[in-house]
Amino acid sequence: MTNPFRTSTAALALGLGMLASGAYAETVVDFTVAEYSSKTGPYFQKVADDFTAANPDIKINIEVVPWDTLLQRLTTDVAGGNAPDISIIGTRWLLDFASQGVAEPVDGYLTPEFKDSFIGTFMNPGIIDGKMMGLPVAASARAMMVNMDIYDKAGVAPPTTWDELYAASKKIAELPDVYAFGLQGKEIETDAYFYYNLWTHGGDILNADGTSGLDSEAAITSAKLYKQMIDEGLTQPSPTNYTREDVFNMFKQGQLATIFTFPMLIPQIKEEAPNLHYKILPFPEAGAKATYGVTDTLMMFSDSDVKEAAWKFIEFAYQDKYREEFDLGEGFLPVTKNVAALDHFTSDPDVAGFAAGLPYAKFAPVIANWEEIADVTVRTLQQIYLGDVTPEDGLKAAAAEINKIRGL
């Protein structure tokens, strides 16, 4: 009952593999790729094929892993002693990898010209204790997106401050079938949706002394503002059941006037809701300007036996034509200067809208146990949104818990 086809091809492959290894030593580089969209896998496979065509002695073995399970997979891989040679990771995990000696510093490999091809802002989050622990591979910044049709209908202008956003939302809430403000309250990046608010109120995730900034005046004010907007019906009902994707879907359907979002949404809107009349604007302010810069990192594992070959592939994959295809295909902001200078990224108002915030972009702090701290934050926010605790009590407790996790 076994599948004879499979067995025979496996045997055949084995035989061929032996022949091949007899002919010349083949180097295999294992590359774990995070799956951003259905385009990610095929894209990297193509780059790998091109590379092997140019370097027949090196084979790149691409493993595409869904984002949600990437950290689990890498943890298991490393714990089992079977780490890949290179991998895309969330930069927020980088410190854990670096402090455990899992990540290989890349300074020794990075030629000055190669290093100079990157945009400095995106290089910084990858520097730990003065060493480059990886290269930025994908980047995005966040901004506000408004549905101009709804704003026009309500007779209000898109806001630049939180007060204006609140006032405009009040007006919009009177319209039928639409909600003024899309608030995310479930799963990945629920905390980010709050940080946008926190930062623009002048607060921060960590205070200067490294303690949690969640019990600051700014944090309490921003949490109260979200809660008030929920209570007054200015958001969609029950935000704790809305993931990032759910909120964005409502926006595409024209049911939300205002959301906070990332550039990757634009290709989706163009394809699915081409008639949506939207505009990209900076986050509303209340004393401070901010956006959230998010990068992913291409990391090399210190256990790798084929670092030279892996690096050769990395340099190959960072050629402008590949970076351009990647950034355009996935809707990311460019991390290299040459691609950033391309027409599309300078003249397109959408991309420019997102890129505008980069000079004052905030990044997630590079600290240990970041996922756990984010989890505490998300839990507290959900309790506040649900009305289980007051913003003051909830955030104070959360700050204390985070300080404990941080060992402060």
Partner 1 sequence: MQKSIPLLMIVPSLLMAMAIIGYPILDLAWTSSQEVSRFGKLTGFAGWENFAEVFGDQLFWDSLWRTGIWTFFVVVGTLAVSLPVAIILNDDFYGRGLARVIIMLPWSVSLTMTAVVWRWALNGRAGLLNATLMDIGIIDQPVEWLATASTAFVVEILVGILVSIPFTTTILLGGLSAMPQDTYEAAMVDGASGWHQFRYITLPLMKPFINIAIVLNVIYVFNSLPIIWVMTEGGPANGTDILVTYLYKLAFRFGQLGKAAAISLIMFGVLLVFTLLYVALVSRGEEDAAPEDEKEA
Partner 2 sequence: MSRKLTRSLLYWLFLSPLVVVILFPFGVMFVTAIRPRDEIFTYPPTWGFSEFRWTNFSEMWVKTNFGGALMNSIYVSVLATAIALLLAIPAAYAMSRYRFAGKGLYRNFLLMTQMMSPIVLVLGLFRLMMAMGLVNDLNSLVVTYAAFNLAFTIWMLQSYFNSIPRDLEEAAWIDGASHLTSLVRIFLPLAVPAMVVAAIFTFINSWNEFVLALTLMRSSEDFTLPVQIYAQVAGRYQVEWHHVMAGTVLATVPVAIVFSWLQRYLIRGMALGAVK
DSSP string, 249-285: HHHHTT-EEEEEE-TTHHHHHHHH-TT--EEEEPPPB
Among 326, 350, 197, 345, smallest CA distance to 269 is for 350
- In this structure, how many other beta carbons lie within 10 angstroms of the beta carbon of residue 121? 17
Residue 156 gets which letter from DSSP? -
Reduce the DSSP state of residue 94 to 3 states and report it: helix
CA distance 304 to 105: 12
**φ/ψ (deg, to 5) at 271:** -85, -40
Is residue 82 within the footprint of partner 1 (CB under 8 A)?
Answer: no
Among 136, 62, 137, 129, smallest CA distance to 101 is for 129
Look-up of token digits 């898109």: 158
Min CB(328)–partner 2 separation in Å: 15
Is residue 231 within the footprint of partner 1 (CB under 8 A)?
Answer: no
Q: Which stretch binds partner 1 (CB under 8 A): 12-20, 153-161, 284-292, 381-389?
A: 381-389
Is residue 71 within the footprint of partner 1 (CB under 8 A)?
Answer: yes
List for the chain the helix, strand, coil content (%; round to 5): 50, 20, 30
Min CB(249)–partner 2 separation in Å: 5
Is residue 275 within the footprint of partner 2 (CB under 8 A)?
Answer: no
Is residue 35 within the footprint of partner 2 (CB under 8 A)?
Answer: yes
Q: Interface mask (CB under 8 A) for partner 2, residues 231-270, using x and -?
A: --------------x--xxx-xx-x------x-xx--x--
Q: Which of residues 282-301 bind partner 2 (CB under 8 A)?
A: none
45 vs 121, beta carbon nearer partner 2: 45
Q: Which of 22, 56, 66, 80 binds partner 1 (CB under 8 A)?
A: 80
Q: Which of 37, 72, 161, 346 binds partner 1 (CB under 8 A)?
A: 72
Helix (H) or strand (E) holding 74: helix 67-79
Q: Which of 185, 282, 284, 357 binds partner 1 (CB under 8 A)?
A: 185
Is residue 396 within the footprint of partner 1 (CB under 8 A)?
Answer: no
Is residue 124 within the footprint of partner 2 (CB under 8 A)?
Answer: no
Min CB(168)–partner 1 separation in Å: 22
Q: Which does 6 bind (CB under 5 to 8 A by kind): partner 2, partner 1, none?
A: partner 2
Min CB(25)–partner 1 separation in Å: 30
Q: Which does 245 bind (CB under 5 to 8 A by kind): partner 1, partner 2, none?
A: partner 2
Q: Which stretch binds partner 2 (CB under 8 A): 20-28, 62-70, 309-317, 357-365?
A: 62-70
Q: Which of 22, 56, 66, 120 binds partner 2 (CB under 8 A)?
A: 66
Is residue 96 within the footprint of partner 1 (CB under 8 A)?
Answer: yes
Q: Which does 347 bind (CB under 5 to 8 A by kind): partner 1, partner 2, none?
A: none
CA distance 333 to 264: 9
CA distance 343 to 234: 39
CA distance 181 to 167: 12
Q: Both tokens of residue 55?
A: 């370097």
Size of the site for partner 1 (CB under 8 A): 37
Residue 59 gets which letter from DSSP? E
138 vs 384, beta carbon nearer partner 1: 384
Q: Which of 119, 206, 250, 306 binds partner 1 (CB under 8 A)?
A: 250
Among 315, 302, 267, 332, smallest CA distance to 100 is for 302
Instruction: Give the number of residues written for the chain.
Output: 408
**φ/ψ (deg, to 5) at 291:** -140, 170
**Footprint of partner 2 (CB under 8 A):** 1-3, 6, 35-38, 41, 61-64, 66-70, 72-73, 76, 79-82, 188, 245, 248-250, 252-253, 255, 262, 264-265, 268, 272
